[in-house]
Amino acid sequence: MDTAPALRRIATISLHTSPLAQPGTGDAGGMNVYIDQTTRRLAARGIEVEVFTRATSAHQEPVTEVAPGVLVRHIVAGPFGGLDKDQLPGELCSFTAGVLRAEARRDPGHYDLLHAHYWLSGQVGYLAKDRWGVPLVFTAHTLAKVKNAALAQGDRPEPRGRLLGEEQVVAEADRLVANTSAEARELVDLYRADPARVDVVPPGVDLDVFRPAPDRRAARAAARSELGLPADDRIVVFAGRVQPLKAPDVLVSALAVLLARHPDEPWRLVVVGGRSGGSTENNWLVDLAEQLGVRDHVDVRPPVPAAQLARVFTAADLVAVPSHNESFGLVALEAQATGTPVVAAAVGGLTTAVAGEISGVLVDGHDPADWATALARVALDPALAARMGEAAARHAARFSWEVTVDGLIDSYTRAVAAVRSDSVRREQAGWFLGGHVDRARTTPGRILQAGR
């Protein structure tokens, strides 16, 4: 599809986390991977992308080119360093001013479209879209009403300010991109989104990095040797931020059950990730392991780049994703792409990311005893694990970032066409500026606003 006439340049808003950040640290996770992978592939197709994110260090360059056609702009808004998400709304005004100031230095019509990720960015996006006269596409990644309905024990509910903010963005966006059909239904049912404006575009996986080995057994042995893991252990891997929402504590508790039920088996839980909010310590999880007497069976490691994470997945007997809620669950897809079966919670997008009873096992609820049963079922049955591993690689191969970008371009094209068509109708009716149209500022479809 020739997209050049309709899409030349896109502004992407990612206020609270940069695509340059290491997933698994602070607030970086699947959204960072999503933005990084899709922007690179959009640029490879001739569509330039500029990503606006909040500067977190005085040493960051104002503009960083991460790939040909992809720029990351660091906007100074508030103090440098990590801020909790509940502190970020206070920086919306200064961040928005920085975004608008950067665009004001450009010629009219510099951007064809805005794509905002997460509700905070959506707040910036729906102000900028009117200023620039371009369509807004919004991807929530997580929804507060869904999260509050499935809170982990000890987790705080999302504040009313976020609930209202999400409702505003959903109402103002020209198109909404949902990761799954389930998320699309949630947008319609919980946020009263117009179904005609919702596009389902599943995320993908980098199949060049996460791929199965021809000889699974040999590859697992080599990966374990490389990573310093015991050759004969029953290894369960958890990868992601160490926070209640992701539920790694369920796996630690399940590990205690496994050791009681199968005392002769060498169980090991490998946790790859850091805590949310900027801390790299995992004390609360380690404390739980000590309380349950399983500390010697828990291996906590820092987050690693994608290529190394693929090696960790290859080393595992299985990967566990026990989250209380996931809009999709990229980790599950990446693990399956290496040929490793996944045991995941039957929530949200995980029911799409994992083919239950084919590429892995979906567990209802978060009872450690149930999780222990599911983990043992796969880990202690080599024939089942092998079948699921082969099916996992086939299942993951259906998802690629190229397919994701195809869907995004379709959504973008519809958004631009609708806004431009509406602009033409309004121009013909003489609605701009009380009957006068400044054509120099409305190309393509840009509205001149007073005080610019």
Q: Answer yes or no: is 425 a known binding residue.
A: no
Q: Answer yes or no: is 1 a known binding residue.
A: no
What is the spatial distance between Cα 355 and Cα 392, in angstroms, rounded to a whole number? Answer: 8
Q: Answer yes or no: is 390 a known binding residue.
A: no
Query: What does the buried/exposed string (b/e) look like for 92-106 if buried means 16 or more CB atoms within 10 Å of the residue's CB?
Result: beebbebbeebbeee
* Rg (the chain; Cα; Å): 23
Q: Answer yes or no: is 332 a known binding residue.
A: no
What is the spatial distance between Cα 22 and Cα 4, in angstroms, rounded to a whole number? Answer: 32
Q: What angle do CA 136, 83, 103 make, to 5 degrees?
A: 35
146 near 188, Cβ under 8 Å?
Answer: no
Other CB atoms within 10 Å distance of the CB of residue 399: 22
Q: Answer yes or no: is 230 a known binding residue.
A: no
Q: What angle do CA 114, 22, 152 make, to 5 degrees?
A: 85
Scanning the structure block, which residue is given the tokens 């970008």? 405
Query: Which two three-digit tokens encode residue 104?
Result: 């004001």
Q: Answer yes or no: is 413 a known binding residue.
A: no
Torsion sign over Cα 327, 313, 238, 18: negative
What is the spatial distance between Cα 194 and Cα 415, in angstroms, rounded to a whole number? Answer: 14
Query: Which two three-digit tokens encode residue 140?
Result: 């929530």
Q: Answer yes or no: is 85 a known binding residue.
A: yes
Q: Answer yes or no: is 241 a known binding residue.
A: yes
Q: Answer yes or no: is 145 a known binding residue.
A: no
Q: Answer yes or no: is 291 a known binding residue.
A: no
Q: Answer yes or no: is 142 a known binding residue.
A: yes
Q: Answer yes or no: is 435 a known binding residue.
A: no
Q: Answer yes or no: is 334 a known binding residue.
A: yes
Other CB atoms within 10 Å distance of the CB of residue 296: 9
Q: Answer yes or no: is 23 a known binding residue.
A: yes
Amino acid at 125: G
Q: Answer yes or no: is 53 a known binding residue.
A: no
The phi, psi pair for 333, rounded to 5°, reads: -70, -40
Amino acid at 19: P
Q: Answer yes or no: is 16 a known binding residue.
A: yes
Q: Answer yes or no: is 153 a known binding residue.
A: no
Strands of 122-203, DSSP E? 136-139, 175-178, 198-200
What is the spatial distance between Cα 111 and Cα 214, in angstroms, rounded to a whole number? Answer: 45
Q: Answer yes or no: is 304 a known binding residue.
A: yes
Amino acid at 130: D
What is the spatial distance between Cα 37 and Cα 362, in angstroms, rounded to a whole number? Answer: 27
Query: CA 177, 181, 185, 190: dihedral to nearest 10 degrees?
Result: -60
Q: Answer yes or no: is 106 a known binding residue.
A: no
Scanning the structure block, which residue is given the tokens 């951007």? 111
Binding site residues for Mg(2+), as ranges? 313, 316, 340
Binding site residues, as ranges? 16, 22-23, 27-32, 85, 118, 142, 162, 241, 246, 304, 313, 316, 326, 334, 340
Binding site residues for UDP-N-acetyl-alpha-D-glucosamine, as ranges? 22-23, 30, 241, 246, 304, 326, 334
Binding site residues for 1D-myo-inositol 3-phosphate, as ranges? 16, 27-32, 85, 118, 142, 162
